[in-house]
Amino acid sequence: MDYLKIFSPATVANVSCGFDSLGFAVDAVGDEMTFTKTAEKGVRILQITGAELTYNVDENAASAVVKKMLNEANANFGVALTIHKGFSPGSGLGSSAASAAGAAFGANQLLGAMYSKLELTKFAMFGEQVACGTAIADNVAAAIYGGFVLVRSYQPLDIIKLPVPKKLRVVAIHPQIQIKTKDARAVLPTKIPLKNAVIQWANLGGLVSGLYTENYQLISNSLVDVVAEPARKRLIPFFDAVQNAARKAGALGAGISGSGPTIFALCKGDKIAEVVHKSIEESYSNKGIDFEMFISKVNQIGIKIIKST
C-alpha cells in the first residue's frame, strides 16, 4: 500500500461511571487523514484543515506518532500526511486521540500491518503524551478498537473490547467554550470517599453487565457518576439543564464527554435519540452560548479505510 485515506472517529471517554477507564467511539464525527509513502525518509505534514494545529513534526500528535513508528520499524521510506479535523480540539471528544490513533493506524498500513491493535494503542498514547502531556489510553483505544473499550490496566496495558447493544445511539452537544484538560483535572479531588468509590464501581460493573446482556434499563440505571461529574459540571454552563432535558426526553443517561465541555447522552433507538436531540437543543437555546450537536450510532469497528492504492 502506497497511499490511504482514513476516517478516525471522535470518542467519548469516561462515560459517567467509567472515569479514566471506559470509552466508546462514534460514527458520525471524526477526522479524515491521508498517508502517502515517500522515497524521502521522515515525516512531513502537507496540510491541516478544519482546525489550527502545529505543523512542527515533533509537536503535532499525528506526525510525532508516525515518526516514532517509522523509526522503530526502521522503515526505508517516509510519509507525507494530510489531516482534516472534523471536530474541534478542546471539545472533550478526543480530538488529539483521533489524530494520534489515526496516525498509528495509517502508518501501520504503510508498514504492512505489522503491529497489533494493542501496539497501535501504545503508539497512539505517545501522541496523547505529545499533545496533552499525559499518555492516556481511553480515547485512543476506543478509536482503534471501536465500540466500547475498557482500559483494565496500564501496567501492563490491557484493553478489553466490550459489546455494543444494537440500538444504542449517542446524542452530543458541544457548547463553544473552552475547558483545558489541565483545568478539568485540577478540579478533581485527589482522594475520594470510599463509599463513593463503591457506588462508582458497582455502577461500572452494572454498565458492563448491561452491555453484555443488552439490558437498556440496567445501562440507564448504571449511568451515574458520583466522582468526576460533581466536580467538573460547574465548568460546563447549564450542564444540569442538559442532563435533565436528556433524561426527561427518554435518554438512558447523560454525562460529561471526557473532560468536557461536550455533554453526551445515550439513547435506545433512533426515535428517542431525535427527541432527546430536540430537547437538549431547546434547553441550550437562548443561553447566549453557541453550540454544535450531533446524533450518532456507536462506532463498532474503529478507524476505517476510505480509500487506498
Catalytic-labelled residue, pool 11, 128, 229, 262: 128
Nearer to a copy of itself by Cβ, of 114 and 212: the residue is 212
Does the active-site annotation cover 181? yes
Choice from 25, 131, 132, 150 touching a copy of itself (CB under 8 A): 150
Nearer to a copy of itself by Cβ, of 62 and 218: the residue is 218
CB of residue 19 to a copy of itself, shortest distance in Å: 6
The Cα 162–Cα 176 span in angstroms is 31
- How far apart, in Å, are the Cα atoms of 111 and each of 2, 6, 42, 70, 83? 10, 15, 14, 8, 19
The C-alpha cell 454498565 sits at: 207
Estimate the crossing angle of helix 117-132 against helix 61-72, to 10 degrees.
130
Nearer to a copy of itself by Cβ, of 200 and 257: the residue is 200
CB of residue 111 to a copy of itself, shortest distance in Å: 28
- How far apart, in Å, are the Cα atoms of 119 and each of 65, 116, 140, 228, 298? 12, 5, 11, 29, 23
The Cα 117–Cα 133 span in angstroms is 22
Estimate the crossing angle of helix 61-72 against helix 95-110, to 10 degrees.
30
Check binding of 203 to a copy of itself (CB under 8 A): yes
Q: In what order do the strands lie in the sheet with 263-268?
A: 253-256, 263-268, 168-175, 291-297
CB of residue 127 to a copy of itself, shortest distance in Å: 22
CB 300 within 8 A of CB 180: no
Check binding of 47 to a copy of itself (CB under 8 A): no
Check binding of 208 to a copy of itself (CB under 8 A): yes
Residue 298 is classified by DSSP as: B
Sign of CA dihedral 74, 75, 77, 81: negative
Does the active-site annotation cover 36? no
Nearer to a copy of itself by Cβ, of 152 and 287: the residue is 152
Residues 10-29 within binding reach of a copy of itself (CB under 8 A): 17-22
Residues 165-194 within binding reach of a copy of itself (CB under 8 A): 188-194
CB of residue 292 to a copy of itself, shortest distance in Å: 30
- What is the per-residue binding string for a copy of itself in 238-257, x denoting contact by CB under 8 A? --------------------
CB of residue 156 to a copy of itself, shortest distance in Å: 9
Q: Which residues of 217-250 are buried (b: 16+ CB within 10 A; e: fewer)?
A: ebbbebbbbbbbbeebbebbebbeebbebbbebb
Angle formed at CA 103 by CA 100 and CA 104, multiple of 5 degrees: 90
Catalytic-labelled residue, pool 11, 36, 121, 181: 181
- The span of 47-55, 148-156, 274-282, 296-304 binding a copy of itself (CB under 8 A) equals 148-156
Number of residues interacting with a copy of itself: please give it, by CB under 8 A.
38
The footprint of a copy of itself (CB under 8 A) covers 17-22, 150-153, 158, 160, 162, 188-194, 197-209, 212, 218, 221-222, 227
Just list the catalytic residues.
128, 181
